[in-house]
Amino acid sequence: MQNNKKLILALAAIAAAILVMVGIYRSFGPQTSAGSKSYTLEVMDDLEEVKNYSGTTDAEVLKDLLDELAAQGDFSYEAEDGEYGTYILSVNGVTADYSQDGAYWAIYVNGEYGQYGADSQPVEDGDAFRLVYEK
């Protein structure tokens, strides 16, 4: 009986912890907004050749924007879902293989190094994104 009480308390504590975590995520997590937003995207490949894209989008996160661009045909990318979000493997046919030579595709947002994966990075009106091949 005493054990059951303890376990019920423990389960309740875990449920409460989950609720607190949901609250923290909703209050302080990546914020998104719907609607038509303008953006620019610069892709710098391994040879430091630059390709620019711009337009408007309703995408809420960068991954959706990249999917929209890919559907338009002049842009392609490959990514995989990892433990902590989408990880970009290749852009416009240029693959960055970290395990081979430490190369990766970095995301920059308005000049700052991106804090989120492509599936969590919010898209705001006027955002300037950069995808840069780095080693």
Partner 1 sequence: MTGDRQPVTVRDVAVLGMMTALLEASKRLLDNLPNVELITFLLIMFTLFYGRRVIAAALAFTLLEIAWWGVHVWVIMYLYVWPVLILITDRLHRGLRERGETPTPLPFALLAAVFGLLFGAMCSIPYLFIGGPVMMITWWIAGIPYDILHGVSNFLICLVLFKPVHKALRRSAALFVIAF
The DSSP line for 82-94 is: ETTEEEEEEETTE
Question: Which is closer to partner 1, CB of 18 or CB of 50?
Answer: 18
Contacts of 51 (CB under 8 A, 6+ apart): 42, 43, 45, 92
Question: Which is closer to partner 1, CB of 24 or CB of 50?
Answer: 24
Question: Which is closer to partner 1, CB of 55 or CB of 82?
Answer: 82
Supply the minimum distance, in Å, between the C-beta of residue 85 and partner 1.
7
Supply the minimum distance, in Å, between the C-beta of residue 75 and partner 1.
25
| Chain residues in the site for partner 1 (CB under 8 A) | 7, 10-11, 14, 17-18, 21-22, 24-25, 28-30, 81-85, 98-100, 115-117, 120
Which residue in 62, 67, 64 sits closest to 108, CA to CA?
62
d(CA 49, CA 36): 29
d(CA 89, CA 3): 50
Supply the minimum distance, in Å, between the C-beta of residue 46 and partner 1.
18
